[in-house]
Amino acid sequence: MNALPARTSAAPPLRPLVMLTGAVVLAHVLLLQAAPTQWGMAGEPVTLRPLITRSIEIKPPSPQTAEPAPPPVPRQARPAPQENRASTLATQAQPAIESIAEPVPETPAPEAAQVAAAPLPDPAPAATPEPTAPVALAGALSIPGSLRLKYSMTGRSKNMDYHALAQLDWLQDGESYQASMVVSAFGLGERSMASSGRITGDGLAPTRFLDKSRSERAAHFQPDKGKITFSANTPDAPWLVGAQDRVSVFVQLASLLAGEPASYPPGSSISLYTAGPTAADTWTFVVEAEEQLTLPAGDIRAVKLARKPQRDYDQTVEVWLAPAIGWLPVRIRITQQNGDFVDQQLRAGEKPL
């Protein structure tokens, strides 16, 4: 018999191995694509930009500068998620600027001149110079000399606290005067009130009062016609001797106390017929005690006067007049019936340019 040939061993075919290897690689690729977030592709930490509150410091102008530059108004931009709250607060705070000197309601009678507004740091206290020479008048009146006063302001409006800066420019030459109060808050805008007129034997005699914010309204004093007219198309008010406006009223108070302080002891009252941008009413201030105030400008003694509310919508107006600066106001605080308030405190004084 022929012997069967011997079986020899051979290497397994390569094709099945190649196919098996490819299947394993494909399975790993599919597994990686199916679960990217588990491997860090979408799980990287997101860094949130922190909320930054910008502040601005308004410094006294140099001698070569005629007027202080207004605070910059930021461009509106789409806020990041963390900035949404800051944008909302700015929107809510806008009425703070708009409400300066606004009575609630304004008709039938105007309310006191409210000088009120992103927080601003208080500059370092500066020396407060004496005003220029006052003008003495008959009838126990002494008009303060020209002076520029700068104030720091805090307040609350619609459950939001706010900060602002204000400046009172008082100029007189013995025959005429100009007075302006400007309030500004970074990011919220500016409001200004201005009074101009003559100096008479009865003190200040305004001829025009201007109230300017988003719009401009004015009151015109016409003693020759016996009336006060308003650009807001509201009814005329009668003109009375000694009539004031919402800026001049504080300087007139200063003139009265400077002329004869002993005539106004605690408990006495001073009534001044006062016009706003749409109407006129009588303001009565009660003289209270002298106080030692600690203000951004330093420690100052001042006499407090207060206008108490007579009607439901009246504001409480408190003003502190300091003999050291010609009895001009070093502090004014105005409080609404709902608890909103503005507190204006002297931080510096200087001679006007």
Report the pLDDT averaged over residues 86-103.
41
Dihedral sign for Cα atoms in the order 111, 116, 117, 119:
negative
**Phi, psi at residue 203, to the nearest 5°?**
100, -140
Indicate whether 81 pLDDT > 90: no
Indicate whether 313 pLDDT > 60: yes
Q: What is the pLDDT of residue 20?
A: 54
Tens-digit pLDDT profile for residues 197-246? 999 999 999 999 999 988 899 999 999 999 999 998 899 999 999 999 99
Q: How many CB atoms lie within 10 A of CB 349?
A: 23
DSSP state of 81: G
Confidence of residue 75 (pLDDT cuts 50, 70, 90): very low
Distance CA 104, CA 97 (A): 15
Q: What is the pLDDT of residue 291?
A: 97
8 Å CB contact between 252 and 198: no
Distance CA 155, CA 138 (A): 39
8 Å CB contact between 261 and 324: no
Indicate whether 51 pLDDT > 80: no
What are the helix (H) ranges across the chain? 14-34, 84-98, 248-259
* Averaged pLDDT score across all residues of the chain: 73
The more confident residue out of 140 and 41 is 140
The more confident residue out of 95 and 337 is 337
Closest CA to 284 of 265, 305, 270: 270
Indicate whether 93 pLDDT > 50: no
Distance CA 292, CA 278 (A): 37
Q: What is the pLDDT of residue 146?
A: 96
Whole-structure pTM value: 0.65
Q: What is the pLDDT of residue 53?
A: 26
Indicate whether 89 pLDDT > 60: no
Least confident of 4-18, 24-38, 201-215: 24-38
Q: What is the pLDDT of residue 109?
A: 37
Name residues whose C-beta falls within 8 Å of residue 260's C-beta, 6 or more positions apart in sequence. Answer: 140
Indicate whether 102 pLDDT > 60: no
Q: pLDDT above 70 covers what percent of the chain? A: 60
Q: Read off the tokens for 100.
A: 């300066």
Closest CA to 149 of 272, 285, 304, 332: 332
Domain boundaries, the chain: 105-350
8 Å CB contact between 322 and 330: yes
Tens-digit pLDDT profile for residues 288-311? 999 999 999 999 999 999 998 777
* CA 306 to centroid of chain Cα atoms: 22
Tens-digit pLDDT profile for residues 103-160? 433 433 333 333 333 333 344 444 455 555 555 444 589 999 999 999 999 988 888 8
Report the pLDDT averaged over residues 276-282.
94
Q: pLDDT above 90 covers what percent of the chain? A: 50
Q: What is the pLDDT of residue 312?
A: 74
Tens-digit pLDDT profile for residues 324-344? 999 999 999 999 888 899 999
Q: Read off the tokens for 348.
A: 């510096």
CA angle 99, 105, 107 (to 5 degrees): 120
Q: What is the pLDDT of residue 131?
A: 56
Name residues whose C-beta falls within 8 Å of residue 314's C-beta, 6 or more positions apart in sequence. Answer: 103, 111, 308, 337
8 Å CB contact between 116 and 344: yes
Q: What is the pLDDT of residue 17?
A: 52
Partner residues linked to 148 by β-bridges: 169, 350
Q: How many CA atoms lie within 13 A of 31 on its CB side?
A: 6
Confidence of residue 66 (pLDDT cuts 50, 70, 90): very low
Report the pLDDT averaged over residues 179-198.
89
Q: What is the pLDDT of residue 92?
A: 39
Least confident of 4-18, 190-204, 268-282: 4-18
- Local structure of 63: helix, strand or coil: coil
Least confident of 150-159, 282-291, 311-320: 311-320
Q: Read off the tokens for 112.
A: 């006191």
**By CB neighbour count within 10 A (0-12 exposed, 13-18 middle, 19+ buried), where does 160 fall?**
middle
234-250 burial code (b ≥16 CB/10 A, e <16): beebebeeebbbbbbbb
The more confident residue out of 59 and 77 is 77
Q: Is the bond preceding residue 70 a cis peptide, omega within 30 degrees?
A: no
